[in-house]
């Protein structure tokens, strides 16, 4: 069965098709992605109304694109999946509306997928796919979470960000340094030329007894340091970037290490946009080697929002005989939706 997946939760329009047969794992057979970075760059961040309008313009051509890649017609589809939430309500509605229209026209099932479940399962798109159970470090945009994943759709939240998430800490720190949008990725590039020990930024909750995260204090510390250095900030930017990155990465790695000890898992899956950060990857690999555990990352192209992860999540739910129960075409979205809501 061919499954069409549509992602439109924020500033990427993603469409993909996976093929799912019997009890076999879904196989990605086609995908296409449009990024809105250039659209939002002049504003220094995502403008929700512009994002929604751009999704409207891009989705239909992308659907046509992926179907033509494998030379199938819409009638060959057996299921349509879309990102139901969380995300920007207007942007989510675009993808949901298109998905429901396609499914209704073809008379096939419609399935709403949790955006974070898509990220959590994105490492299954790689050739070195993980096996259940595992610990997941989910670092996607406004979300930083540690999840114990016992099996498909069995997710236990161990800890999460109580204010700013890691991705927000990267982006907000970048903005304070005058780095162009998208700030987090550009800050990481700049950090390669800096000294990570030049500035001693705080590591919030590093020694707390729980597995929660907090990065708001780090952002405030960066702001304070920037004000001290102005107007002669430029010579210090690389060192500031490297020091900010070091603080964020140390917290993520230490909390992951604590979660491994608490759960006894011997496998770590890293998912989400911050999972593309090379310093984080390197530090987690070192930690995993020292602890004798395996670590899995999604390929870099699947770290950002994409349709492949949505199609894959739907295919894996079908593979394991698990459904979200959404079979009518009266679609809806949920801008704020805890991952526990789709756990069984």
Averaged pLDDT, groups of 10, the chain, 344 residues long: 98 97 93 97 94 98 98 97 97 98 95 96 93 96 94 97 95 94 92 97 95 95 97 96 98 98 97 95 97 94 96 96 77 92 90
CATH number for the domain that contains residue 31: 3.30.420.40
Residues 99 and 139 reside in one and the same domain: no
Q: What is the total count of domains within the chain?
A: 2
Residues 194 and 288 reside in one and the same domain: yes
Concatenated DSSP letters of 271-290: ESGGGG-HHHHHHHHHHHHH
Distance CA 122, CA 99 (A): 21
Residue 43 gets the label, from left (phi > 0), alpha (psi -120 to 50) or beta, of alpha
Residues 156 and 117 reside in one and the same domain: no
Q: Which residues contact 223 (CB under 8 A, 6 or more apart)?
A: 176
Distance CA 293, CA 266 (A): 5
Q: Which domain holds residue 288?
A: 128-297
For 37, the token pair is: 């970075």
Residues 7 and 23 reside in one and the same domain: yes
Q: Which residues contact 339 (CB under 8 A, 6 or more apart)?
A: 114, 116, 117, 120, 145, 147, 155, 157
For 202, the token pair is: 């705080």
Give the pLDDT score at 136: 98
Residues 324 and 286 reside in one and the same domain: no
Distance CA 176, CA 196 (A): 17
Residues 144 and 95 reside in one and the same domain: no
**pTM: predicted TM-score of the whole model, two decimal places:** 0.95
Give the pLDDT score at 140: 86
Residues 146 and 244 reside in one and the same domain: yes
Residues 96 and 70 reside in one and the same domain: yes
Residues 308 and 264 reside in one and the same domain: no
Residues 218 and 99 reside in one and the same domain: no
Residues 253 and 177 reside in one and the same domain: yes
Give the pLDDT score at 262: 97
Residues 202 and 134 reside in one and the same domain: yes
């Amino acid at each position: 069965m061919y499954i069409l997946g549509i992602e439109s939760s924020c500033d990427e329009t993603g469409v993909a098709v996976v093929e799912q047969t019997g009890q076999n794992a879904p196989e990605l057979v086609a995908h296409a992605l449009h990024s809105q970075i250039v659209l939002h760059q002049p504003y220094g961040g995502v403008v929700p109304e512009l994002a929604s309008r751009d999704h409207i313009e891009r989705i239909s051509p992308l659907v046509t694109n992926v179907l033509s890649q494998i030379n199938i017609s819409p009638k060959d589809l057996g299921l349509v999946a879309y990102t139901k939430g969380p995300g920007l309500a207007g942007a989510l509605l675009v993808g949901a509306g298109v998905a429901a229209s396609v499914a209704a026209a073809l008379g096939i099932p419609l399935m709403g997928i949790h955006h974070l479940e898509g990220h959590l399962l994105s490492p299954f798109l790689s050739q070195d796919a993980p096996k259940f159970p595992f610990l997941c470090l989910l670092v996607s945009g406004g979300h930083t979470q540690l999840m114990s994943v016992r099996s498909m759709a069995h997710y236990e939240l161990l800890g999460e960000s109580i204010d700013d998430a890691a991705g927000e800490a990267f982006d907000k720190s970048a903005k304070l340094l005058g780095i162009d949008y998208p700030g987090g990725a550009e800050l990481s590039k700049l950090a390669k030329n800096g000294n990570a020990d030049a500035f001693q930024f705080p590591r919030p909750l590093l020694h707390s007894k729980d597995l929660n995260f907090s990065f708001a204090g780090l952002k405030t510390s960066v702001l304070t340091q920037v004000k001290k250095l102005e107007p002669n900030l430029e010579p210090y930017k690389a060192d500031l970037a490297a020091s900010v990155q070091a603080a964020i990465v140390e917290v993520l790695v230490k909390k992951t290490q604590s979660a491994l000890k608490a759960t006894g898992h011997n496998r770590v899956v890293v998912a989400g946009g911050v999972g593309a950060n090379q310093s984080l990857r390197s530090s987690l690999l070192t930690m995993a080697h020292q602890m004798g555990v395996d670590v899995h990352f999604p390929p870099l192209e699947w770290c950002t929002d994409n349709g492949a992860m949505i199609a894959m999540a739907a295919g894996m739910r079908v593979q394991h005989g698990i459904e979200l129960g959404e079979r009518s075409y009266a679609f809806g979205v949920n801008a704020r939706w805890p991952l526990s809501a789709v756990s069984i």
